[in-house]
Amino acid sequence: MKNQSNIQPNSVQMIEVHDDLVGQRIDNFLLARLKGVPKSHVYRILRKGEVRVNKGRVKQTYRLELGDIVRIPPLRLAEARPEPKVGAGFEAHLEQNILYEDDQILVINKPSGLAVHGGSGINFGLIEAMRILRPDEKSIELVHRLDRDTSGCILIAKRKSALRLLHTQLRSGQVDKRYLALVAGRWPNRRKTIDAPLKKNELQSGERIVRVSPEGKEAQTEFSVVRRFSDCTLVEARPITGRTHQIRVHAQYAGHGLIGDEKYGDELLNKRMREKGIKRLFLHAASLSFVVPVSGKRICVEAPLSPDLLVALDGLENSSDE
């Protein structure tokens, strides 16, 4: 079998999966190795079944197993593009927002508006920027993802062994994620669990949207009240499962859409909140608890809210029944 580091996109490739690739998603495996091939094309050949694992079709979420044989068809290369550069100011901003770092991993407080990876008209995202900032780290990968407009804790692995261990923790529910979200209206006092299956849909415009559907995948989110305001509530959200847009859709399903959510929220309320200084999606990954690879110690990393959101909260009127 050919070595995965020497892929030639203009010919059929047969690649055997070794220890360092076990547990990696097939789409991430392809994207990391097919530099110069448009991302949309990589996903297209997956959907069409041109990429085969052990001679069979697989979905983009398939995770590689030891000994798998991956067949990659001939692919066209995109025109060469200059390597993205990180401006000095942006570089300093990212460095200042690193919350935890060791030889295996790092956790960063991702700013709202920064995509986690490039594609779809975006030259580069967080992971590309971190690879530029850490040129000696050859195996930097995202452990999980956040929506572009969501801020807060995101975990990045520097070693493939760490990536596998953390993916195992994610699948077994050992990673505890807590979000702060500002939602419309008065959320009930008691902690409440939303248990509603979610299904991804694609509109004619190509926009991806998620809906509660009996045909969807199992999804649960726990919510608890943090602070009440006159026409909204600050809640803590703990996703038990990890579905796309889960917190946003579950909040909408409960009748309390997130403030600043242009896809699932209340347009009129969002407009009023913009006038009060909340000009973005109010969803923040506030903390992340997990077992550190190698040391085996459990840590909890916390990300503070950005100054603009803190100022906006201070300007909101408290609820009289708080």
Name residue 145's amino acid.
R
Helices and strands of the chain, counted as H and E runs: 8, 16
**Domain 176-315: which CATH class?**
alpha beta
Q: Which of 177, 172, 168 is nearest to 24 (CA)?
A: 168
147 is catalytic: yes
Select from 3.40.50.300, 2.40.30.10, 3.30.2350.10, 1.10.3720.10 the CATH code of 88-169: 3.30.2350.10
Q: How many residues does the chain have?
A: 322
The pLDDT value recorded for residue 76 is 62
Residue 47's CB is within 10 A of a number of other CB atoms, namely 11
Cα distance between residue 182 and residue 286, in whole Å:
13
Residues of the chain within CATH 3.10.290.10 domain(s) are 4-72
Catalytic annotation, pick one of 147, 149, 261, 266: 147
The pLDDT value recorded for residue 123 is 64
The pLDDT value recorded for residue 197 is 97
116's tokens: 């986690």
280's tokens: 């973005």
Residues of the chain within CATH 3.30.2350.10 domain(s) are 88-169, 176-315
Beta carbons of 12 and 71 less than 8 angstroms apart: yes
180's tokens: 């702060």
Fold (CATH) for 4-72: 3.10.290
Cα distance between residue 190 and residue 83, in whole Å:
51
Helix (H) or strand (E) holding 39: helix 39-47
Write phi, then psi, for 178 (nearest 5 degrees). Answer: -125, 130
The pLDDT value recorded for residue 19 is 79
Q: What is the full DSSP assignment across 197-266?
A: -EEEEE-TTS-EEEEE-TTSB--EEEEEEEEEBSSEEEEEEEESS--TTHHHHHHHHTT-PBTT-TTTS-
Cα distance between residue 283 and residue 149, in whole Å:
8
The pLDDT value recorded for residue 5 is 43
pLDDT beneath 50: ranges in the chain:
2-6, 79-80
The pLDDT value recorded for residue 154 is 97
